[in-house]
Amino acid sequence: MKKAIGIAALFGATAGLALASGSSLYVTFETGAVPTGHYDCDAPDYCVPFDWTEVVIPGDCTYINGDLEKREARYCEPDTYMVCFDKLNNIIDSDDNSSEYGNGWASGFWGSQCFVDNGDGTRSLRLGVTGRPDGLDGVFNGLFQNGPHGQLGGFTVHVDFRNSQGATVAEETYVDEFVIGAEAFHINYAVPASATDVHVNIDNTTGTVEVRCDVDFFKLVNLVPLCDYCIEQIGGLNCECVPTDARLGWFDKSCTLILTEGEGGAVAGYAKLCAVADANGEINLAVSGEHDADFDGLHDYLQDAWYDAQGRAPIECPEVKPGHGEAGCYTLKVYVTAPHSGSSNDGAGASGDAVLMQNALDHGDLNMDGVTNTADLGILIGNFGWNGN
C-alpha cells in the first residue's frame, strides 16, 4: 500500500502557512512500503511497478530524511547437547533431544537429579551446553574425537524452578551462541530453597544474524513536469558514525533502472543524482548502499558467488544473502535546476507559454533546454508505456 507523505500529514501545526515558490521544507520519509518485513532479508526490498511510497515535494527545494535499516535474519539452528555436573565437574545426567522448545534438535530435562548440595545448606544447578556430538564421547570439552563439534548459531536456555505443588518459584534465561563450532558453555544457578523440581529447555531457533540489505523505494510527486531536478545527499551517519555511503537510482514506472550514482554528494561517500520529472511531475527514486548498483539489497561483488553456491551440497546451517553492508540515516536535498528554477511551480514551465512548450516537444526537446539529447531520451524512456491516467 502506498503512503502519501505531505504537508498536511507532517506539519498540521502550520495550517494556513503559505509556502512561496523556492521555499525549503523538511519531509520525513517513512520506510516500509515495499519491504518484506523487518526480520526478513531472505527476500530483500525490491522494485514493484506502481507500488512506491509517495513523498510530496512542496517547493523548489525540499529535504528528505530517511533510514537504511538494519535487518535480522534467522541464522543457524544448532544441534545441542546438555549435561549437568556435580561440584567436581563429574557428569550427573545428560540429554540430546528432549527439549519442549526448538526444532527437535534441542536438549532439556526435568526433575531434581541435577540439584547439588553445596555443603552449607544451599544447592546449585550446574549445567553444560555444547554441540552434538560433543558429550557423546563422555567428555564435555567442545570436541568430538579431537575435532570441533561443528555446531553454529545461537540458542536460549530456559530454566524453570518449581515447588512441590508445581508452581514456578524462579525463572532464569541464558542466551549464547556457537561462533566457531568448538564452544562448550558452563552455566551455574543457585537453587531456590523452596524448589523441588526444575524444567530446563533449550530453544535452538532463537539465533539471528545482522544483515544490512534495506532498500528504500519512493516516488517524488508534485514536481514541475519535464523539469530538471537533482537529488543530493547532504547528511547522514551510519552505525559506525561515519557518513552513510548511499547509492541513488532513478527508475522508470516499469522498474527499469535509468541511472544510478553513488558519488558527487556534499562529502566523500555521499551520492548525487540528477533526473528529469516525467509528464506527471514524478520521479521514481531508490536509495541503497553504495555496493548495490542493481538495488536488490545485495552486495554486487558477492551476490553472484552466493547464488552460484546454492543448490550444491546440503547446507546444515542456513546461509544468509550478502547484504550491501550499509545501515544508517541519510538526508537528501531535492532541488530544481535549469531551465525552470524560480518558476511559479504551476506546472506550465518557466515561461508559462503553452505554445513555446508545444514547439519544444514537437522537436523532441522534452526538457525544453534548447537541445535534443540523451536527457530527452531519458525522459522518453521514463514515460514509455503507461501514462498514469
* Rounded Cα gap, residues 230 and 340, in angstroms: 13
* Rounded Cα gap, residues 341 and 339, in angstroms: 6
- Please, what are the domains in the chain? 4-71+213-344 (2.60.120.380), 80-206 (2.60.40.3230)
Q: What is the pLDDT of residues 183-242, one digit of tens each?
A: 999 999 999 999 999 999 999 999 888 888 888 888 999 998 889 999 999 999 888 889
- The arithmetic mean of pLDDT across residues 117-138, rounded, is 93
- Mapped onto helix, strand or coil, the DSSP state of residue 334 is strand
* Rounded Cα gap, residues 94 and 135, in angstroms: 8
> Per the structure block, which three cell numbers stand in for 36?
518484506
Strand pairing category for 61-68 and 24-28:
parallel
* Rounded Cα gap, residues 285 and 263, in angstroms: 16
pLDDT at 174: 97
Residue 109 pLDDT level (bands cut at 50, 70, 90): very high
Q: Is residue 200 a contact partner of residue 110, using CB atoms and an 8 Å limit?
A: yes
- Mapped onto helix, strand or coil, the DSSP state of residue 309 is helix
Q: Is residue 253 a contact partner of residue 47, using CB atoms and an 8 Å limit?
A: no
Contacts of 8 (CB under 8 A, 6+ apart): none
- Mapped onto helix, strand or coil, the DSSP state of residue 304 is helix
* Rounded Cα gap, residues 255 and 246, in angstroms: 19
pLDDT at 357: 53
Burial of 367 (0-12, 13-18, 19+ CB in 10 A): buried
Q: Does the pLDDT at position 305 exceed 80? A: no
CB neighbours of residue 270 within 10 Å: 24
Phi and psi angles of residue 373, each rounded to the nearest 5 degrees, phi first: -145, -165
221-64-48 Cα angle (round to 5): 55
